Amino acid sequence: QPPAMACSLKDELLCSICLSIYQDPVGLGCEHYFCRRCITEHWVRQEPQGTRDCPECRRTFPEPTLAPSLKLANIVERYSAFPLDAILGAQRSPFPCKDHEKVKLFCLTDRAVVCFFCDEPAVHEQHQVTNVDDAFEELQRELKEQLQGLQESERGHTEALQLLKKQLAETKSSAKSLRATIGEAFERLHRLLRERQKAMLEELEADTARTLSDIEHKIQRYSQQLRKVQEGTQILQERLAEADKHVFLAGVASLSERLKGKIHETNLTYEDFPTSKYMGPLQYTIWKSLFQDIHP
């Protein structure tokens, strides 16, 4: 099984001292490998005994030499960047990649196809790398979730647009109806105001005609009385101008008869023009008359 093979291969990359992946692996003459730090610390602990041996086979070395294993270090580096279970479970492409076949892996972090042999492991270090089949299923699941979310968003936007279009039509219809209602209401008010204006002007004309007629009649009467008073004044002035006493006294007897109807007292009475009825709080008066005709 690929997972078992991955575990087995991983075990080959473990330092037998720290039981971790090799760090700067070095080899001894016995072809066993350890972390440079681990074997160095192991030999430091053995200094009191004066020996230096291999922790694996217990072979001693008088003058041991630590040889760096570049090949093993490269394998460790690539293992750190690419999980072995993905490598072992990957399918190989029939197309050659330089001098070897391209192993199909997929980096979920970079969302890109990578080659275990060609790509630099450091580029995908600590990235989520898996085989193509698993990546296909994972991305299929993600895209289906995104599609479901987009479809739900599409339904929501469609419903919202339908509601907005309905509200648009209803608003236009309501505005049209309200314009008609407002026009009718103000037309009724205008009609009432015009009627009140017409009635008030007619009343003003009647008051004006009545007042003018009364004044003109009094003018005519007082003009006639003034002429008679002037005639009486002239008669008296002529009698007073008579110097002859006998003639003056002889005319006194007929003076009363001649002055009859010539003396009139001034007892003028008239009514003021009703201006206050058409002034003052005219708007309030009109409002009261409108209020009687309006029934909310």
SS3 letters across the chain: CHHHHHHHHHHCCECCCCCCECCCEEECCCCCEEEHHHHHHHHHHHHHHCCCECCCCCCECCCCCCEECHHHHHHHHHHHHCCHHHHHHCCEEEEEECCEEEECEEECCCCEEECCCCCCHHHHCCCCEEEHHHHHHHHHHHHHHHHHHHHHHHHHHHHHHHHHHHHHHHHHHHHHHHHHHHHHHHHHHHHHHHHHHHHHHHHHHHHHHHHHHHHHHHHHHHHHHHHHHHHHHHHHHHHHCCCCHHHHHHHHCCHHHHHCCCCCCCCCCCCCCCHHHHCCCHHHHHHHHHHHHCCC
Q: What is the pLDDT of residue 125?
A: 53
Task: Output 58-63 pairs: Cβ under 8 A, ≥24 positions apart.
Answer: 59/28, 59/29, 59/30, 61/28, 61/29
Q: Residues with Cβ < 8 Å from 109, sequence gap 6 or more?
A: 124, 127, 128, 129
CA–CA gap between residue 150 and residue 142 (Å, rounded): 12
Domain residue limits, the chain: 8-90, 179-293
pLDDT computed for residue 193 by the predictor: 87
Pick from 257, 209, 215, 213: nearest CA to 232:
257
Q: How confident is the model at residue 148 (pLDDT cuts 50, 70, 90)?
A: very high
State mean pLDDT over 118-122. Answer: 53
Other C-beta atoms closer than 10 Å to the C-beta of 185 total: 11
Q: Please tell me the least confidently modeled range out of 170-174, 178-182, 227-231, 292-296.
A: 292-296
Q: What is the pLDDT of residues 195-210, one digit of tens each?
A: 888 988 998 899 899 8
Reply yes or no on whether the pLDDT at 110 is more than 80: no
Share of the chain above pLDDT 90, in %: 17
Per-residue model confidence (pLDDT) at position 18:
87
What pLDDT, on a 0 to 100 scale, did the predictor assign at position 266?
76
pLDDT digits (tens, 9 = 90+) for 48-69: 777 788 888 888 877 777 888 8
Looking at domain 8-90, what is its CATH homologous superfamily? Zinc/RING finger domain, C3HC4 (zinc finger) (3.30.40.10)
Antiparallel, parallel or unpaired: β 67-68 and 92-97:
unpaired
Mean pLDDT for the chain? 79
User: For residue 269, which of 223, 214, 227, 220 has the smallest C-alpha distance?
Assistant: 214
33 Cβ contact list (under 8 Å, min separation 6): 15, 22, 25, 26, 27, 69, 72
What is the rounded average pLDDT of the residues 15-42? 86
Average pLDDT over residues 133-151: 88
Query: CA-based diameter of the chain, in Å?
Result: 197
Comparing 271 with 134, which gets the higher pLDDT?
Answer: 134
- Tell me phi and psi for residue 127, to 5 degrees: -90, 165
Residues found in the chain: 296
At residue 183, the pLDDT reads 94
pLDDT at 24 over 50: yes
| pLDDT value at 144 more than 80 | yes
Question: What percent of the chain stands above pLDDT 70?
Answer: 81
pLDDT of residue 124: 54
Asked if residues 25 and 76 have their Cβ atoms less than 8 Å apart, the reply is yes
Judged by average pLDDT, the poorest of 119-123, 157-161, 265-269, 289-293 is 119-123
Where does the pLDDT of residue 83 fall: very low under 50, low under 70, confident under 90, or very high at 90 and above? low
User: In this structure, what is the dihedral angle of CA atoms 7, 29, 52, 22, given to the nearest 10 degrees?
Assistant: -30
Q: What is the mean pLDDT of residues 104-131?
A: 64
Question: What distance lies between CA 65 and its chain's CA centroid?
Answer: 76
